[in-house]
Amino acid sequence: MSQQTVSPQTILMQASSNGKGTTGTIGQPITYEKIPTQIFADSKEASYAVAKEISDLIRQKQKEGKPCVLGLATGSSPKTVYAILVRMHREEGLSFKNVISFNLDEYYQMEPDSIYSYHRFMKEQLFDHVDIPKENYFLPDGTVPAPLLRDYCTSYENKINAVGGLDFQLLGIGGNGHIGFNEPGSLINSHTRLITLDHSTRAAASMEFGGLHNVPRKAITLGVAPILNARRVVLLAWGERKASVIKSAVEGPVTELNPASYLQAHADVTFVVDESAASELTRIKTPWAVDSVVWDNKMIKKAVTHLSQTLKKPILKLIDKDYNDNGMSDLLAQYGACYEININVFNQLQHTITGWPGGKPNADDTHRPERAQPAKKRVLIFSPHPDDDIISMGGTFQRLVDQGHEVHVAYQTSGNIAVADDEALRFIDFVVDFNNGFDINSPDANKLFLDAKEFLRHTKNSEIDSPEVRKVKGLIRRGEAKATCRFVGIPTSQAHFLDMPFYETGTVQKKPIGEEDIKIIENLIEEIKPHQIYAAGDFADPHGTHKVCWDAIEAALQRSKHKNFMKDCWVWLYRGAWAEWDIYEIEMAVPMSPDQVLKKRQGIFKHQSQKDGVVFQGEDSREFWQRAEERNAGTAQLYDSLGLAEYEAMEAFVRWKF
């Protein structure tokens, strides 16, 4: 089979006049999208659609007696796709015997059996669970000596050409727009090569590697040209952190600053995204600018607050012309002059603000976000990690305690993998010195700690911590959480350490939640019988701990919702230190004074293992207290800019209903 090739000049010409432009015809909605983009409710639904397309292609090629040549990606985005393909193999008879696969990339230098290698990733996620012949899957070799790399990269690409090219290329996308490891600046005609990784790429991978210092600086990647030569390309993106780069690739110009934009000229490409990753696309962010919409209350709030922010005018100063000039004339036609609309939206936002997150006793709660009764509530705060409670809702936590509510905190996981080795060594030394200093003869304890110390001294970055080391690290984080509870003012008897089993793998890769995880949550809810539940609503990363922890909570709530005490229970969702709810979504905003902001900071400081060199910092080099303060200040400034009261900071919540 011959393989179609496309010149860089042709790609750029097609990208500027490919018929996917931004102007619509009469009677049709305007489209800003230059790449076909399918939006799914969540990543599971999207992953099933992609897995179904791949399985159909494999079966079609089998009928034709031909090999199916797949280009495969790694990272978190395709994990569910691979899991569904494995299930199809086991339950639906999908065979991979005719599949030939080529992976996009591999870190350099990287041994294939390292826990960080993409060789190991692909074997654990797919190859070891299906019947693909070992001689049929290929991955770049991260151990090739430097003098041989150029020839090796050429030969890797030649192998693809020798089997007729890629029938299907699966891609993820980096936060900077990279596809494979083709970083910004990569040329459209680039081929397979060794590349230096961008800092943002290494920072994004730091979680998997246990810190930025462990992430390799180089990688081997399939070039842009062979990716574009695949007959079919599907790119996956999940979560709000990918939203801006997806918008840039789909709606922006073709540019080397966002290599994914090169896909605009491909003849058969689809971006498959969840709602969060699609949130910056014009048809999602401002749908009234693209097509007619149903002007329900949520859409009106979204449009009016967006208009206010865009024009930098308080809501009550918006005029009819502002509406007409910004695609909202049909809203005016439906509801009349903008004055009444402005007042309605302004009042709704004003009613979200409360200094009484547990409800204000003996007050009219008609327009308050929380009920006045019962005056003293039992409150259960779920914290995925041992510091999410104080980072994400520390001001609200403190206020609930100060206002006399019975507050419990459930720390869902041990958080042990987020403790640096040297921090663990420091505590081990303290315990040993403590025992020696006070003549405490505890041979078993000393041996346990000395074994852990010896392990840490000789461990390699690619090794999983021993059970003893994980225990030490978990105890460190437990002690910090208890210190926070004492600081806020609740007894440590109201701190519940759940140590959910799904988390305890010793690696970033976790087990799926199981019955035991859900039962732990269900039993705690039954024990406390809360009037309020607070939980992390960070659903952006489908493989993140916050999302998995919420899945367990939701499953437990669904099981418990028929019980009498649950009729009086409201569930509020908070977000972490990276992002906040959109203003039109917020249903409760708890203001903080300057003194309360400082007190929250001091509470965060109780988590000393997470200061001065956080293990999983991501792309943001700031410490968690800095991120939280900027986010809370930003929320307050947004309310102020819309014309509402000015506060130092705010924590925001959305109510989840059964």
Residue 222 and residue 181: Cα distance in Å, rounded? 8
- Would you say 142 and 107 are in contact if contact means Cβ atoms under 8 Å apart? yes
Q: Count CA atoms within 13 Å of residue 15 on its CB side.
A: 26
Report residue 33: phi and psi, to 5°: -95, 130
Element (H, E) at 72: strand 68-72
- Please confirm, yes or no, whether 92 is among the known catalytic residues: no
DSSP string, 90-157: HHH----TTEEEEESEEEES--TTSTT-HHHHHHHHTGGGS---GGGEE---TT--GGGHHHHHHHHH
Cα-to-chain-centroid distance, residue 645: 32
In the three-class reduction of DSSP (H, G, I as helix; E, B as strand; rest coil), residue 563 is classed as coil
Residue 313 and residue 296: Cα distance in Å, rounded? 23
Q: Which of 33, 183, 251, 480 is catalytic?
A: 183
- Would you say 597 and 562 are in contact if contact means Cβ atoms under 8 Å apart? no
Report residue 362: phi and psi, to 5°: 55, 35
- Would you say 24 and 30 are in contact if contact means Cβ atoms under 8 Å apart? yes
Residue type, 415: G
Please, where are the H alpha helices in 420-544?
Answer: 421-437, 443-458, 467-488, 515-528
Cis peptide before 145 (omega within 30 of 0): no
Residue 133 and residue 99: Cα distance in Å, rounded? 8
Residue type, 82: Y
- Would you say 288 and 328 are in contact if contact means Cβ atoms under 8 Å apart? yes
Residue 421 and residue 456: Cα distance in Å, rounded? 7
User: ∠ at Cα 589 (369, 620), nearest 5°?
Assistant: 145
| Cβ count within 10 A of residue 60 | 12
Which are the contacts of 25, defined by CB distance < 8 A and separation ≥ 6? none
Q: Could you say which DSSP state residue 292 is in?
A: -
Residue 209 and residue 186: Cα distance in Å, rounded? 25
Element (H, E) at 379: strand 378-383
In the three-class reduction of DSSP (H, G, I as helix; E, B as strand; rest coil), residue 202 is classed as helix
What's the alpha-carbon Rg for the chain, to the nearest Å?
27
DSSP string, 209-249: HTSGGGS-SEEEE--HHHHHTSS-EEEEE-SGGGHHHHHHH
Both tokens of 353, joined, read 């603000």
Report residue 170: phi and psi, to 5°: -95, 130
- Would you say 56 and 154 are in contact if contact means Cβ atoms under 8 Å apart? no
In the three-class reduction of DSSP (H, G, I as helix; E, B as strand; rest coil), residue 397 is classed as helix
- Would you say 102 and 160 are in contact if contact means Cβ atoms under 8 Å apart? yes
Which are the contacts of 554, defined by CB distance < 8 A and separation ≥ 6? none
Closest CA to 305 of 351, 251, 341, 353: 341
Q: 221-232 in b/e burial notation, b at 16+ Cβ within 10 A?
A: bbbbbbbbbbbb
The catalytic residues are: 183
